[in-house]
Amino acid sequence: MPAEKETDLLAETTRPSCAVISLAHVTREYTGRTAPVRALDDATFTIVAGEWVAITGPSGSGKSTLVNLIGCLDRPTGGTLKIDNIDTSAMSPTELDRFRSEKIGFIFQQFHLIPYLSAVENVMLAQYFHSMTDESEAIAALERVGLGARLTHLPSELSGGEQQRVAIARALINNPPILLADEPTGNLDAANQKIVTELLQNLHGQGHTIVMVTHDPEMAALAQRKIALSHGTVFCHPVGGPVVTLRR
Ligand SMILES: Nc1ncnc2c1ncn2[C@@H]1O[C@H](COP(=O)(O)OP(=O)(O)OP(=O)(O)O)[C@@H](O)[C@H]1O
Ligand SMILES: [Mg+2]
């Protein structure tokens, strides 16, 4: 395809009205001990609803910094970041907590489960920030990830793969359109990696937008598009892959 045509296609498929995540000149600078560290430098791109994007790059290139910004766990030091067309920079911490719990589910490499709570209680904890807790919904979320027989187990009584599936159920409980995953299979053996990978594929098929940090080329290949980082600078690969149903 001629370069000009390709640019048109990109502009069309990433037009602002479709963007579920949009960054314009976003920078994140940390104070640092001796000199400021620019962990993300002037990032401008959009991710459209229903896309599966892999964020790749060497250690220290700014992947977690970017995911934390998209997840509204951190704020840019420059530029504008919008989630679902909303600039969250003026929100109070309480508004932001609610916004985050409605829009975004988090899946981390370390599962971050509360050790003294059962599987179902860990999932219900995420509902708490959203609205009333509902045990039957938490049970349904665990059944959705194949853990209906492990509801009352503590994290220490679950395998690594099962713990990650509890974390995925927790991420899904408020039915957020966006799933952010930072190395979701980084701590798993091959069998559990397969289970979690298939779950992510199902969720993408159901219309969730997935933004996933990964070092693993096989995982990255599952995504429709790669956003590569190098020393805080973003390189976006063209949009491609199968068309999916958009979910708003
Ligand atoms: N709180 C902080 N204060 C100062 N510098 C930081 C802070 N957090 C991250 N950095 C620096 O910002 C850069 C990007 O860090 P980030 O954690 O985003 O990298 P990453 O790509 O996720 O790496 P990894 O693959 O190892 O997880 C690194 O140079 C890191 O040292
Ligand atoms: Mg990281």
Summarised one tens digit per residue, pLDDT across range 60-76 is 999 999 999 999 989 99
Q: What is the DSSP string of 125-168?
A: HHHHTTSS--HHHHHHHHHHTT-TT-TT--GGGS-HHHHHHHHH
Beta carbon of 22 within 6 Å of any ligand 1 atom: no
pLDDT tens for 160-186 read: 889 989 999 999 888 889 999 998 888
Q: How many other β-carbons are positioned within 10 Å of the β-carbon of residue 233? A: 15
pLDDT for position 155: 95
pLDDT at position 214 is 92
Domains of the chain as residue ranges with CATH: 3-245 (3.40.50.300)
Query: Given ligand 1 and candidates 65, 109, 216, which is best to mutate, with the most ligand atoms within 8 Å of its CB?
Result: 65
Gap between the Cα atoms of 140 and 39, Å rounded = 39
Tell me the three state secondary structure of residue 18. helix
How far does the centroid of ligand 1 lie from the alpha carbon of residue 234, in Å? 15
CA of 59 to the centre of ligand 2 (A): 7
**What's the whole-number mean pLDDT along residues 146-169?**
93
Of 2-11, 20-29, 71-80, 158-167, the one with minimum mean pLDDT is: 2-11
pLDDT (0 to 100) of residue 1: 47
The 10 Å Cβ neighbour count of residue 28 is 23
pLDDT for 16 equals 47
**Ligand 1 in reach of 39 Cβ (< 6 A):** yes
Between these two residues, 19 and 90, which has the higher pLDDT value?
Answer: 90
Distance 36 CA to ligand 1 centre (A): 12
CA distance 73 to 97: 9
Least confident of 14-18, 55-59, 142-146, 154-158: 14-18
Using the mean position of ligand 2's atoms as its centre, give its distance from the Cα of residue 65 in Å.
Answer: 7
Cα(173)–Cα(114) distance, rounded to whole angstroms? 16
Check whether 241 has a pLDDT greater than 50. Answer: no
Residues 6+ apart with CB under 8 A from 92: none
The residue nearest atom 17 of ligand 1, judged by CA position, is 64
Residue with the nearest Cα to atom 16 of ligand 1?
A: 62
Q: Distance between CA 44 and CA 27 in Å, rounded?
A: 10
